[in-house]
Amino acid sequence: MKLLLDEMYGPVIAEQLRVRGHDAVSIHEESHRRLEGAPDVEVFELARAEGRLLVTENAADFPRIEAAALARGEQHAGIIYTTNRQFPRGEPAAIGRLVRALDALTRAQAVPESASVFLQPAE
């Protein structure tokens, strides 16, 4: 499964996922930096065009964008929602927990096409 990490995540998370064998990119990396500060619909559309699961905390905007795409008959790879409460960005240990949880979820292929899931910490 291919992942696109939204801009609230540092590139170190994508790097750690690649070490684990995943095709993961961050909006903050050179290849996708054009998305920094871009409207959410552009982020969603690029993730969709590249066949990437979108990883984001933005549960306020992306459900509306996803619903509009599905209403047009446009499928997507999926959305993985996280929360700053479960994986606090200011806490160094949260990076490892987030990487382990994303690794476990994607290895289990637990995100069906055009579905959204809320990420839980890995056991």
DSSP E strand boundaries for 32-77: 52-56
**pLDDT at position 85, please?**
92
Q: How far apart are CA 11 and CA 25, in angstroms?
A: 7
Instruction: Give the H/E segment covering residue 4.
Output: strand 2-5
The answer on pLDDT for 101 being more than 90 is yes
The answer on pLDDT for 123 being more than 80 is no
The pLDDT-based confidence of 110 (bands split at 50, 70, 90) is confident
pLDDT over 70 percentage in the chain: 99
Q: Which two tokens stand for residue 108?
A: 């289990």
**pLDDT at position 40, please?**
97
**pLDDT tens-digit series, residues 57-80:** 999 999 999 999 999 999 999 999
Cβ neighbours of residue 107 closer than 8 Å, sequence gap 6 or more: none
